[in-house]
Structures are given as C-alpha cells and as structure tokens.
C-alpha cells in the first residue's frame, strides 16, 4: 500500500496502521502516519487526538498540547465539550493500558495532560494520586494541590466508584498517615464510602497503626472519631477509642468510652476488658483513688466469675485483651501470692484458648523442641532473641542497652524483634536505631502475633527473652506459641504467668525466697542484681529553686512517678514527713491529669495538716537527660509503694540523691530495695510505714547524713554491681549457657 495515494485509504485504515505503531512504541512512524492522515482528512478530529498522544509518548509534551489546542480552536461553541470528551477518552484508554502494563510513569504523564484538559475531572485526579503512590512519590501534598478534597465535598456529590475510593483511602493512610490533608481527605471520602461494609475497618485499622507504630495518639483519635459517624456503638471502635483518649491524656472521655463498652458488652470476657479499661483511665489520671478502688473490686469479682466458668472458645482478640486484665493489682496492694495466683490463672486460661484456636501452629513450633539441640554443631553461638516494643526511648530501652552493648558476639548471635517499632524510624528515635545496629538481625514488626511468631520460628532462636511481660499483651500471645526451646521473662515488669515461659530473671533481693512457691516460671536468680547499667546521660537542668519560689536553705523532697503509682496511704506518709521537717517543700512530678493529681495531693495535705504552699507540681520535660539533671534540685527522693520506682530509682541513685523506699513482698515493692543494696546503700530502706516516715524525717533533718550517702553513691560508681553493665552481661550470658545446658541434658 502506498501512503501517498490518499484516496485509496479510509479513516479506519489510517487509524489501525498508526495505532499499531503506537502500541509497538514506534512513535516516529505513528506521528508520521497521523500527520499524513490529518493532511488527507483534516476534518477528522480523532487524528489530532492521536497525533498529540503519539507526540506525548515520544516525549514532546509541548508539541502534543499545541496539536490539541490547534484542533480545539476549530470547534464551534456547541462542539467544544464533545471534542474535549473525545480527547479525554483517547487519553483515558491509553493511561489505563499503561497502568495495566505497570508502566506507571507513562500513565502518570498522560493523566497529568488530562488534568490540563479537564482540571476538575475527579476520577482522573484520583488516578494521579494512585499512580503517585505506586511510583512511591506520593507525599500527601497532592490532595490539596489537585483540589481533590473540595471536589469530594461538592454538593450534590460527584459520582465516584466507592469501592475504588475506599481502597485509595487505605493506600493514602498507609503512605501518608500523618499528613494534615490525609485526615481531611478521609472525612471528605465518608459521604461516598460510609455505606461500604469494610469502611469502618479501614479507618479503625489505620488509627490503630498510627497509635501503635507511629505513636501519634492525637492523629489516631481524630481518625477514630470519624468512625463514630459510621457506627457510634461499634464495640471494637469504642474499645480502641477509649485507649486512644487515655493515651493522649483525655482521661474523662477515655473513661466514659470504656463505660460505654461495658454497657454494650455481650460476654463476661468483654466485661472484664471494659472494666479494666475504666480502671486504666482512672489509674493513669491519678488521684481518683476512691473510684478506682471500687472498680478494682468489681474487676476481681468479674475475674473470679470468668475463671470459674473457664471458657475455651474465646476469640483471639478477646484472649489477647485478657492478658493484662490483672495489670493493676500490684498498684493497689502488696498481696504478692494472691496477685500472682490470679495473674497465673488468667494466663493459664489464655493458654488453653490459644492452644484451641492455634493448635496447628503451636504444634509446628514445638516440633523443634523435640529435636536434639546443637545436633552436629555443639560449638555454634547460641541464638538469643529479644522481643519488645520498648527497645527505644523508653525506661526498658534505657536499661537494657548495656546488655546489648557488652554481649559477646562470638558466643551469642543476637536477634531483635522490634514489635510495633516500624514508626520509630519516622519519629527519629535515636535509641531505637542504636538497638537496630546492635543486633545481628533486626526484625521490625507490626502487631500481627502470627507474623512475629513465624519470624522467630524461622530464625531458629534458641532462647527467646521477653522484655515486656503484661505491658504488651501481644508479646504474651507470642510467648504462648512457644516458638523457642527456652523462653525467658526479664526486666519489663513482673512475670506474666504464661505457662510456656521457662524462667523469670531475678536476683537475691527483688523476690523473697517464698516466691518460688507461687511463680509458675522457675525463678532464675542472678548472683547480685537482675539489672545493671554503666550510667546515664545527664543534660542541663531547667529547674531552679528561686524560680519555684523555694528558699535556698529549704529541704526539698521529690517524688517523680506516674499517677497510677500514687497510692493514698503512701502519699499520707509523705505528707507526714514534710510536716515533721521544718522549712521543707515537696516537689511532685509525673504523667497524670494535672487537675486530678493536684486535687489529690492538696486534699491529703490538708487532712494531714500540711500547708499546700509547700507543694510544687512540676511539668514533664521532653528529654530524659534533662529530667535526670533536674533531679539535682532534690535533697531526698521519696519512693512510692506498693509499686516502687525502677528506672526513676536508678536515675536517683546515679545522681547521688538519698532515697527513701518502703520494701514489700511483691516484685513491684522490692525494685528500689535491690537497687539500693546493689549500690551499697542501706540508709533509707524501710520495712514498715513507721520506718518509711522515720527515714524520711531523719534524712530531711540530717544534712550531714545526706552528704555521706551522696558520697557513698558517688564512690559506688567505681565498685558497685549496679553500675557494672559488663559484669552483669557476663552473668546473664552465663545464665543463658546454663539454661541451654540444662535443656540439652533434658533437665
């Protein structure tokens, strides 16, 4: 066929020949053919549309626009809209073809040209966003720049594929969850997608991820609140929204939401969780002790009823929530044996249910334990896995780091399982990144327990160490799967009672000998201390006595704990100390509801005859190093009971400040005791309420004694076990090797 013989070629032939060249990416020939077609048939508009497309694909965007513009100039007013639609259809077909072939860059270039033709074509603009996400260039700014939010808010609503829009919303929440426009986009989408059955799930899951992995509770709250317009009585929504409110300091709303959960609960297990959420809000707010005590009594009754019924058909989400249903028991009373019995029984009930719904996985994981250990390779390094959400700027993170620092990499291969830590990178958490660089294999994981367990299983970990215990319930479920032959709890809290955990790390002081009788885990006592650090970074203080209107010669007592540790009985003892020490002041610091905690302390002060002008309430500071420096304002630190300080105690001792602690029977009531003993200090250790007051008064009045203690603590940095992270690591490593030997010998 000769292309110069125009009369022999009809329109269809022109298009078929040229379009075939375009598909085959022979753009030069396609352009030539479409130019010839235009010369032969200048009144056929489609020739111009395809010529422009061929030029665009050839990289000549300006020439493409000029071609289309030239054709449009010939249109009569009544033809303009129709011709525009024809051009958009041609470009749409090619953009879709490119997308199907995963040629997203070209598809995006075409759609950007479509935007110049029809700037408010909503489907096209949404496709531009979708392509940017696929190309990993999406920032979130596009939602505003393209005017998408305003178009979605138009009245009457514009037509859009709701299912596709919801998927796009999910993708945007995954890729730019914290961008200011993302929340506006989600709200604008609701009118189009809220009727879809999975809409609430998409938004709620995104809120959970934002709260857990990105640690942005306020953004999670805003997103979850959108869900209320979809279903204001959805139990799962109310559960999570209750936690979000509480985690962001909105305790009243968090408590109210938890009460709504309780009212809607259909099962005993759900009531246990909802009541625990009410208790959680009251405890974190601080100062609402009377109400919290009543809720605790209710919790114990609910737990007793649940343990009596022994349900074994509970769903996974319910089981995971049950783990920390006993979390607050040790904050109320030092009933070591009773509290542990309840915790152990709940953990056993959870285990029975897990072995019911995850039977195949558990059996597969446990097959490895039946194989002879170190078979054919008795000298290989032991694989130690550390499981935690706290290997970051967190109390556990600051304390555990010395073990990681001093680990012998020739004898031990260290794996880190960083639960819900994906977001710490984005939050620029330097300590988290330090941990990532300290392990041979770093596993950054989300909240999927099966994924976590499978990763541990695939890594063939020999000894799995849980640093979180009941502070992270999904860690409890992972430990219940028994993915490693030996499983250990250490540091993060008291033991969880999970039956598949073999050992709980302690020392000669932090648990009494009688504890062996009521722990399901075997207590492995290190010879000196269950924790040691080489020290702490100390910044520049931001507190001064003159700025707090405290005289230079005054005696300053300090208590720095969260609101949930503020037991009224111990607070009364602290007020008696302040009352008996002339010219003394009491500084109170710790996360809680400001109004509630202030009212709590002032009421007890008035009841004990202490002038409220002696109280000072200190705000939190942004950096731990500054907090430690600010401890220097205190002459004496007064510990809490029945739940002592832990990291706060170590920081106090490192700063050389005398401490008064009340020793009890449970782990939580003996933390400061073991730390003081391992720092070589006995002054300030009280075994009764009377001794607590006596030590507080004595240390408040005796400046010389305070100086002697400060000197002892300063000297202890060179000799005490508490400040010898390297020696402590050797003792932990020796324990690991002994545990493995026992396992190898079948003991």
- CATH number of 105's domain: 1.25.40
Domain end among 222, 248, 278? 222
Over 70: is that where the pLDDT of 15 sits? yes
Which residue, 525, 554, 583, sits at the end of a domain? 525
The answer to whether position 684 is within a domain reads yes
**Pairwise CA distance, residues 387 & 468, whole Å:** 8
Query: Are residue 216 and residue 287 in the same domain, yes or no?
Result: no
Q: Are residues 485 and 575 in the same domain?
A: no
| Pair (396, 516) in one structural domain | yes
Mean model confidence pLDDT for the chain: 93
Residue 247 lies in a domain: no
164 and 111, same domain (yes or no): yes
Structure confidence at residue 19 (pLDDT) = 86
Q: Are residues 55 and 188 in the same domain?
A: yes
pLDDT over 90 at 649, yes or no: yes
Domain match, 336 and 366 both: no
Structure tokens at 149: 């939010």
Tell me the CATH number at 444: 3.40.50.11380
pLDDT at 98 over 70: yes
Most confidently modeled of 5-19, 35-49, 355-369, 702-716?
A: 702-716
pLDDT of residue 591: 84
Decide which of 222, 254, 285 is a domain's last residue.
222
Evaluate whether residue 254 is within a structural domain: no
User: With bands split at pLDDT 50, 70 and 90, how would you rate the model's confidence at 181?
Assistant: very high
User: pLDDT value at position 76?
Assistant: 78
- Asked if 468 and 607 sit in the same domain, the reply is no
Contacts of 593 (CB under 8 A, 6+ apart): 249, 251, 284, 285, 286, 287, 563
Is residue 400 located within the same domain as residue 505?
Answer: yes
Count structural domains, the chain: 4
Q: Residue 455: which residues within 8 A CB-CB, separation 6 or more?
A: 417, 443, 445
Q: Rounded mean pLDDT of 243-256? A: 95
At 542-595, the pLDDT tens digits run 999 999 999 999 999 999 998 899 999 999 999 999 999 999 999 999 888 899
Reply yes or no on whether the pLDDT at 6 is more than 70.
no
Do residues 85 and 104 touch, judged by C-beta distance below 8 A? no
Domain around 104: 6-222
Q: Which residue has the higher pLDDT, 463 or 19?
A: 463
> What count of other Cβ atoms lies within 10 Å of the Cβ of residue 605?
22
Q: Is residue 579 part of a domain?
A: yes
Of 595, 699, 514, which is closest to residue 252 (Cα–Cα)? Answer: 595
Same domain, 60 and 203: yes
Question: Regarding beta strands 615-618 and 636-638, do their DSSP bridges make them parallel or antiparallel, or are they unpaired?
Answer: unpaired
Q: What is the pLDDT of residue 575?
A: 98
Overall average pLDDT of the 240-255 stretch: 95
Residue 238 lies in a domain: no
Number of Cβ atoms within 10 Å of the Cβ of 738: 11
Domain with residue 562: its CATH number is 3.40.50.2000
pLDDT at site 746: 84
Q: What is the pLDDT of residues 354-385, one digit of tens each?
A: 999 999 999 999 887 766 565 445 678 999 99
Average pLDDT over residues 41-66: 89
Q: What is the pLDDT of residues 448-487, one digit of tens each?
A: 899 999 999 999 999 999 999 999 999 999 999 999 999 9
**What is the Cα Rg of the chain in Å?**
33
Residue 531 resides in a domain: no
b/e 637-646 (16+ beta carbons within 10 angstroms → b): bbbbbbbbbb
φ, ψ for residue 203, nearest 5 deg? -70, -45
What local confidence, expressed as pLDDT, does residue 423 receive?
Answer: 43
CA dist., res. 328 & res. 339, Å (int) = 10
Q: Are residues 482 and 624 in the same domain?
A: no
Q: Reduced to 3 DSSP states, what percent helix, strand and coil does the chain have, rounded to the nearest 5? A: 60, 10, 30
Decide: residue 696, CB within 10 A, 0-12 exposed, 13-18 middle, 19+ buried.
buried
Q: Are residues 109 and 206 in the same domain?
A: yes
Whether 530 maps to a domain, the answer reads no
Q: Tell me, yes or no, whether 740 lies in a domain.
A: no
| Pair 585, 628 in one domain | yes
């Amino acid at each position: 066929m000769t292309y110069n013989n125009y009369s022999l070629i009809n329109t269809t032939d022109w298009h078929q020949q040229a379009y075939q060249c375009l598909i085959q990416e022979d753009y030069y020939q396609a352009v030539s053919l479409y130019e010839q077609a235009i010369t032969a048939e200048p009144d056929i508009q489609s020739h111009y549309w395809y010529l422009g497309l061929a030029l665009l694909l050839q990289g000549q965007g300006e020439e493409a626009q000029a071609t289309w513009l030239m054709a449009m100039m010939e249109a009569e007013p009544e033809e303009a809209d129709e011709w525009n639609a024809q051009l958009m259809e041609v470009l749409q077909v090619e953009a879709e073809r490119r997308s199907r072939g995963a040629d997203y860059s070209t598809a995006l270039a075409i759609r950007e040209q479509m935007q110049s033709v029809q700037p408010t074509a909503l489907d096209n603009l949404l496709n531009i966003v979708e392509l940017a996400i696929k190309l990993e260039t999406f920032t979130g700014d596009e939602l505003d720049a393209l005017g998408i939010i305003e178009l979605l808010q138009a009245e009457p609503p514009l037509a859009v594929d709701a299912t596709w829009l919801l998927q796009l919303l999910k993708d945007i929440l995954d890729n730019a969850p914290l961008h200011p426009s993302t929340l506006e986009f989600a709200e604008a989408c609701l009118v189009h997608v809220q009727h879809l059955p999975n809409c609430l799930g998409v938004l709620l899951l995104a809120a959970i991820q934002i709260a857990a992995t990105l640690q942005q509770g306020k953004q999670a709250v805003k997103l979850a609140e959108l869900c209320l317009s979809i279903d204001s009585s959805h139990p799962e929504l109310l559960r999570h929204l209750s936690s979000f409110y509480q985690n962001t300091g909105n305790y009243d709303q968090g408590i109210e939401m938890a009460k709504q959960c309780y009212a809607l609960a259909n099962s005993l297990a759900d009531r246990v969780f909802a009541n625990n959420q009410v208790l959680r809000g009251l405890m974190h707010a601080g100062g609402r002790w009377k109400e919290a005590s009543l809720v605790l009594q209710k919790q114990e009754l609910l737990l007793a009823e649940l343990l009596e019924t022994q349900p074994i058909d509970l769903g996974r989400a319910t089981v995971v929530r049950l783990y920390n249903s006993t979390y607050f028991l040790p904050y109320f009373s030092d009933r070591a044996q009773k509290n542990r019995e309840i915790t152990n029984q709940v953990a056993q009930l959870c285990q029975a249910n897990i072995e019911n719904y995850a039977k195949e996985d558990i059996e597969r994981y446990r097959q490895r334990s039946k194989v002879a250990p170190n078979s054919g390779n008795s000298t290989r390094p032991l694989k130690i896995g550390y499981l935690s959400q706290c290997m970051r700027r967190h109390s556990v993170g600051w304390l555990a780091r010395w073990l990681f620092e001093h680990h012998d990499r020739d004898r031990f291969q260290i794996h880190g399982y960083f639960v819900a830590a994906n977001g710490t990178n984005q939050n620029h958490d330097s300590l988290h990144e330090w941990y990532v660089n300290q392990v041979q294999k770093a596993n950054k994981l989300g909240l999927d327990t099966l994924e976590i367990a499978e990763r541990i299983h695939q890594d063939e970990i020999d000894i799995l160490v849980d640093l979180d215990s009941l502070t992270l319930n999904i860690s409890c479920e992972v430990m219940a799967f028994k993915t490693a032959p030996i499983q250990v709890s250490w540091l993060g809290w008291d033991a969880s009672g999970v039956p598949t955990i073999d050992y709980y790390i302690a020392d000669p002081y932090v648990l009494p000998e009688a504890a062996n009788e009521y722990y399901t885990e075997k207590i492995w006592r290190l010879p000196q201390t269950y924790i040691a650090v080489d020290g702490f970074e100390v910044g520049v203080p931001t507190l001064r006595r003159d700025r707090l209107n405290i005289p230079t010669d005054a005696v300053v007592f300090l208590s720095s704990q969260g609101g949930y540790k503020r037991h009224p009985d111990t607070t009364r003892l602290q007020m008696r100390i302040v009352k008996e020490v002339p010219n003394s002041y009491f500084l109170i610091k710790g996360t809680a509801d400001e109004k509630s905690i202030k009212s709590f302390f002032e009421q007890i002060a008035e009841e004990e005859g202490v002038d409220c002008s002696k109280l000072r309430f200190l705000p939190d500071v942004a950096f731990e190093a500054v907090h430690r420096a600010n401890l220097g304002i205190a002459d004496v630190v007064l510990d809490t009971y029945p739940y002592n300080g832990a990291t706060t105690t170590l920081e106090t001792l490192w700063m050389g400040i005398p401490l008064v602690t009340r020793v009890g029977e449970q782990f939580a009531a003996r933390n400061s005791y073991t730390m003081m003993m391992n720092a070589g200090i006995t002054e300030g250790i009280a075994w009764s309420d009377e001794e607590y007051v006596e030590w507080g008064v004595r240390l408040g009045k005796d400046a010389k004694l305070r100086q002697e203690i400060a000197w002892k603590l300063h000297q202890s940095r060179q000799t005490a076990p508490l400040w010898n992270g390297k020696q402590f690591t050797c003792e932990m490593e020796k324990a690991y090797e002994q545990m493995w030997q026992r396992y190898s010998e079948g003991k």
